[in-house]
Structure 1
Amino acid sequence: MDKVVSDAAAALADVPDGASLAVGGFGLCGIPSVLIEALIGQEARDLEVVSNNCGIDGWGLGRLLEAGRIRRVVASYVGENKEFARRYLEGELEVELTPQGTLAERLRAGGAGIPAFYTATGVGTQVADGGLPWRYGPDGAVLVASPAKETRTFATAEGEQTFVLERAIVADYGLVRAWRGDRHGNLVYRRSAQNFNPLAAMAGRITVAEVEELVEPGELDPEHVHTPGVFVHRVVPLTPEQAADKRIERTTVRPRPDTGSAQQSGGDR
């Protein structure tokens, strides 16, 4: 039952070329940055990454992208990553953009063993009808476009309504970061870092969690566990320096009401 692995490199040593990865986090909040750095050193290539976005230039999944290791991304938006946008528009990267809530449910469904589900999101758009550019050519022409999806009409409380079929996502590996975790793999995320981490943990056939604080079994209140250990296969305890290395995607300042001086604002990461 002890799932602790000595370090991130050992935890990811078996990731092969072409593997698919469900990666937790939102922007830079709650991202498994230590595991991502270990992947860069591990040198697996042609990876498919499923994540809310692809980090930023110079940090998070943006580092893996800049190293040329990602072949395909399934995400909800491009975000602040200029290299992500460049590679996509110049045909170096295949990108499947998915509505954010749909992406979250596709990951959750994969972890719950549900192969597909119907949703109203995207009906009447290219999300359902097909034609979204997945890969461009060097000349800007669309080489690969999204296929049309199955739709079906159901009777609802508001009357007849059309829904689109979305397929679940199951990844070869799930990579997540937790605030606290025990040796059995039970995980607790802190505040907004909960975001996509529980979903990525569910969707991975092999889930690896980096934890800021490792505790012994029984120390976590069961009422507070976000990801049960049944979903987690490897636990990597972080050093204090690794746990403290959290970056802010965008810093905003505002005057303090009492002094007029500026302060940094941002969510807990």
Structure 2
Amino acid sequence: MGFDTSAAHCAAALLRGGAVIAERCEEMTKGQAERLMPMLEEMLAGAGVRWADLGVIGVGIGPGNFTGVRISVAAARGLALSLGIPAIGVSRLEALAEGGPRPVVVLEDARRGQAYRQHFAASAEPNTLSVSAPTSTALDIPTVSGTEPNAPPVLAPEPDTRPISGAGIRPVSEPEPDTRPVAEPDTSTPELVELDALPVTAPEIGSAARNGIAPALPLAVATALIAARRAGVPQPRPAPLYLRGADAAPPSDPPPVLLD
């Protein structure tokens, strides 16, 4: 099961073996706290599934609406504790990218001219270039002891000191330069960016996308799929993902004077 209340909606989906067997999404600007659990009950009943049948819970952790994120995370933690199953947090940006083209940049409107951004590379692994050290050649073979008892040591051959000449020839101990282009690294965590100064570097998904393409999957379905894929690996407890501090400021008025 996966559900999300990080925006003006209550969304949930139920999967079995990777196939969607039930899905609900109700648009609402408020009231998610009152509607979420009844909607989950209705979805389970309609699919003929009991709470005890669930194996993992995926929950949207934001970034998004401050109160909405806390509602879904608290519900997921409580359900996981009572059912004895894992609850796995999935960011809204991960869910929007699920099933879509790669590489892709997810941009979600954060208002005030800003956006939540995450770059997803072409593969599941971080899209960085790692070049291993050159392997040993005949000139670099160390002295190795024999493998049999009392066997004489195997000595490295004497280095070749003949001068090297000719165009395009370089010593064997000097590695060839790597001329492959280095791809843009995968952004492992989302970030808050200024939208006006952000160049377009890849196809974009999300409410702030400039060359936008539609998400491949509904948000709750993607959340459930990602959670199911991560279920075999220990995960931290779901926690809200906040990329911006709270708008509310502490009161500036002096505290009242207490009289004896």
Normalised-by-shorter TM-score class: under 0.3
Higher relative contact order, structure no. (Cα contacts within 8 Å, ≥ 6 residues apart): 2
Structure number, greater radius of gyration? 2
Q: Write 1 or 2 for the structure with the bigger share of strand.
A: 1
The normalised TM-score by structure 2 is 0.27
The normalised TM-score by structure 1 is 0.26
